[in-house]
Amino acid sequence: MNIAVIGSGTMGNGIAHVFAQHGFAVALVDISQPALDRALGTIAKNLDRQVTKGTLAETDKTATLGRIRSFTTIAEGVAEAELVVEAATENADLKLQIFRELDQHAPAGALLASNTSSISITKIAAATQRPTQVIGMHFMNPVPVMKLVEVIRGYATSDETTARVMDLSRQLGKTPTEVNDYPGFVANRILMPMINEAIISLFEGVAGVEEIDTVMKLGMAHPMGPLQLADFIGLDVCLAILRVLHEGLGNPKYAPCPLLVNMVMAGRLGAKSGEGFYQYTAGSKNLVVAPTFTK
């Protein structure tokens, strides 16, 4: 089966990795050739890590990389696709534009999936002439490690499309969970208010960064505190999802904390920018609270 992945960032290269590792031919598409080169380098490093851990043979690494081809245009990349997974930036206008192009260039029988973490699948599907074949396929980060795939049915998504995507997810060694198309779906409708409340607690001086994260890690058995997790996800992504929840559900409890809004405006986006609630230094695994939040 031929798979096309649109977007070669963190999620896109992870999705390409798992499909290729499980025997699928993958076309990885991005408008930037340097971004594609970086993505292939990241996939190779992650495969090397699996080889070192003994979970993957060296020959399987070579075979996996051999199944991935890169393209800089959608038309070329999806020409033979049976499933397309869009993993572009969490921006509704961009995704609608991409799906219009996918509908034009992908084979008539191809399924079109979005890795969106919050944007309406029904809205995305309406931009195409094949809404019954459009579905949400929300992988978790890091994709090669996390088992869940949140499968989101749009208003018109067919039973056949859903069944095929559920089965494909299982072929990747994932656990697919079917949910309906409401803002934030399940994962982020529950997760983002928790992260936002942690930021509000910091904003209101209830406790410091380390204290909030420690309470949730040791008291609630979370592997990572909510502020560290927000940094890992990207504060801009958290803000975008909260805005989708706030606008889509019309409930003030989803309004993003002013501190989060200001941090994003200031370019403090978390791990990817080098600073969020914590500071991040290349090669260091030590967590250091950002100076703004130290006592």
Annotated binding site for NAD(+): 7-12, 30, 90, 95, 117, 141, 272
User: CA-CA distance, 83 to 112, in Å (whole number)?
Assistant: 6
Residue 10 in tokens: 């963190």
User: Do 157 and 121 meet the contact criterion of CB atoms below 8 Å apart?
Assistant: yes
Residue 32, amino acid: S
Active site residue: 188, 210, 246, 275, which one? 188
Residue 181 in tokens: 């198309």
Alpha-helical regions (H) of the chain? 10-21, 33-53, 58-66, 74-77, 92-105, 121-125, 159-171, 187-203, 209-214, 220, 226-233, 235-249, 258-265
Let me know if 114 is a catalytic residue.
Answer: no
DSSP code for 275? B
User: CA-CA distance, 81 to 19, in Å (whole number)?
Assistant: 13
Binding residues are: 7-12, 30, 90, 95, 117, 141, 272
Active site residue: 13, 117, 120, 196, which one? 117
Residue 149 in tokens: 């795939």
Active site residue: 17, 105, 138, 246, which one? 138
Q: Which residues lie across from 217 on neighbouring strands? A: none
Active site residue: 150, 169, 246, 275, which one? 150
3-state SS, residue 128: coil
Let me know if 117 is a catalytic residue.
Answer: yes
Separation of CA 79 from chain center = 24
Pairing of strands 288-289, 175-180: unpaired
What are the backbone dihedrals phi and psi of residue 67, each rounded to the nearest 5 degrees, phi first?
Answer: -90, -5
User: Do 245 and 192 meet the contact criterion of CB atoms below 8 Å apart?
Assistant: yes
- Give the catalytic positions in this structure: 117, 138, 150, 188
